[in-house]
Structures are given as C-alpha cells and as structure tokens.
Amino acid sequence: MSSLVRIGLFAGLLGVIFAGAALAGAAIDPDVDRKSASAHSGEDETHQPRVKGLAQADDGVRLVLDPPRRVTSSGRLAFRIVDDTGATVRDFDVEHDRRMHLIVARRDLTGFQHLHPRQTADGGWQVPMRLADAGSYRLFADFSSAGEAHTLGVDLNVDGRFEARELPPPATTALTAGGFEVRLNETGGEARFTIFEDGARVRDIEPYLGARGHLVALRQGDLAFLHVHPESEATEGSDIRFSVEYPSEGSYRLFLQFKVDGRVHTAAFTREAGDVHGD
C-alpha cells in the first residue's frame, strides 16, 4: 500500500470517529483501496515488474496504432513502435523464434489470438486480423529491442452490440477446439500441462516458438500480462512446464498453446489466485 493510500485511510478513520458512522462507507470504501493497489502492482520495488502490458508507453518505447484505436471486425492492423524522440524503432531481437508477438484478447478474456505481424519497409508492423465480436479488446505487443524486453498494451474497439461473457469457473482440465484434453497441475509456482487425445497421453508434441509450448496469463479486471517462464529442463515426451507467479489475489485466465501434427492448439483455463497454493 502506498503512503498516500495509508494517509487517506487514516484520514478516513479520523472522519469516522468525529463525524459518525455515516461517513464510514465512503471513506473506507474497499474499492478505492483495491484500485490504488492495482495501479501500483505493475512494479515491485525489489524485483523486476511482475506484470506487464498495462501501459501503452514504457521504458522509452511507445506503441502507436495506424490508424489509432479503432478497427473494423476484419481487416489489417498496422502499428509501430516508436522511441522517446518519436522515431520508429526498426531493430528487434528474435525472442521465441520471432521479432514481434501480438497477443489479442477481448476485455472479458474471450477471443484470444496470438499473431505474428510482418515488418514493413518503414519499420512498422502489419497483420491481417479478424475480431469477430463487438467489444473492447486489449492488444499486447511483446518484443525485445536492444536486449530489453517490452510488453506494451493498447485497447481497440469494435463497434456493435456487446455482450460480455462470464469468466468460466476455475478448472484444471480444458478442451481445445481440436478435441485435445489438457490437464493442468499447479504446485509451488509451477504449472504443468499434460495433453490427452481420446484418453491417451499425447507425447509427440512438436516445438512451437522454440519451446514445447507457449503460455500467456492475463489477470481479470485489468488484463495485466504475467511474467511466465518456460522451464528449460523440459524434454521430449515430458509435460509442458512453466513457472507462473500470481502477483495478487484474483482471477486469471491461462492460454496454453502447443503444436501437434503441424497445427497449433489453444487450451484456456481460469485460475483463482489463493487456491493455487492449496490444491
């Protein structure tokens, strides 16, 4: 909790004492505390940031949409990364086999997409993108430049009648569109995924983006993008393992992608931080 919040709460408590109980609801509104806390959760004073993607500009780089803020449900998305002088950044490092990873999710955590844009001659990026449902989407550009990793986030709106979907309840199994059943086992900060097809364990998982799988974890409410590290000792035939650290209580959506028979499959899981250490 920041000192400002603390001072606010202290003042609120004094208010309750002197002005009576009627003020209590407004002065010690738990929502106010939660909002302030989430605004600060992007940084950790002693460690690297535990969440990413909450800002459109960070660490001297900025994500610029061309044109800004709005897309049609199907078309081409164009964007650039600019530095603090406004110049287009052109040099990117290869991370997970690509120079640019684009993650898209609607704000209700449906409609997940993982795309790889193409760099144009002027240094910008383009990718065909279809957003089937109306609503507000979060777009994350995940890249590394000059040895520094960045995840910048920006909202996109698709006009139309918007119906938010409830987050599915927490689960440790998920079905992919291709009929695979994925089981998740979480213990001590490690998420272990096992793939099944028709009840039998799938062992011939193909490399995808230089690893056995790719995991994106988003926090419900602000779509904070979690640091997730693939565990290097994963070998042929083994589970797909990641170290996942939930930065706060709350609901999270995990999107695991893996490749079998040349096709990429996505399995999504809802997790509640709080039960992750208990089960």
Give the footprint of Cu ion on this chain (CB under 5 A).
Answer: 101
Is 101 or 219 the residue whose CB approaches Cu ion more closely? 101
In the complex, the smallest distance separating the C-beta of residue 126 from Cu ion, rounded to whole angstroms, is 15
Quick count: other Cβ atoms within 10 Å of Cβ 31? 7
In the complex, the smallest distance separating the C-beta of residue 96 from Cu ion, rounded to whole angstroms, is 6
Asked if residues 270 and 171 have their Cβ atoms less than 8 Å apart, the reply is: yes
Is 211 or 273 the residue whose CB approaches Cu ion more closely? 211
Strand 125-130 versus strand 118-119 pairing type: antiparallel
Strand 225-226 versus strand 263-273 pairing type: unpaired
Which residue of this chain has its Cβ atom nearest to Cu ion in the complex? Answer: 101
In the complex, the smallest distance separating the C-beta of residue 82 from Cu ion, rounded to whole angstroms, is 21
Asked if residues 152 and 81 have their Cβ atoms less than 8 Å apart, the reply is: yes
In the complex, the smallest distance separating the C-beta of residue 109 from Cu ion, rounded to whole angstroms, is 18
Is 140 or 276 the residue whose CB approaches Cu ion more closely? 140
In the complex, the smallest distance separating the C-beta of residue 62 from Cu ion, rounded to whole angstroms, is 21
Q: Which residue has the tokens 């009648």?
A: 161
Is 254 or 276 the residue whose CB approaches Cu ion more closely? 254
Is 41 or 257 the residue whose CB approaches Cu ion more closely? 257
Is 101 or 265 the residue whose CB approaches Cu ion more closely? 101
In the complex, the smallest distance separating the C-beta of residue 70 from Cu ion, rounded to whole angstroms, is 24
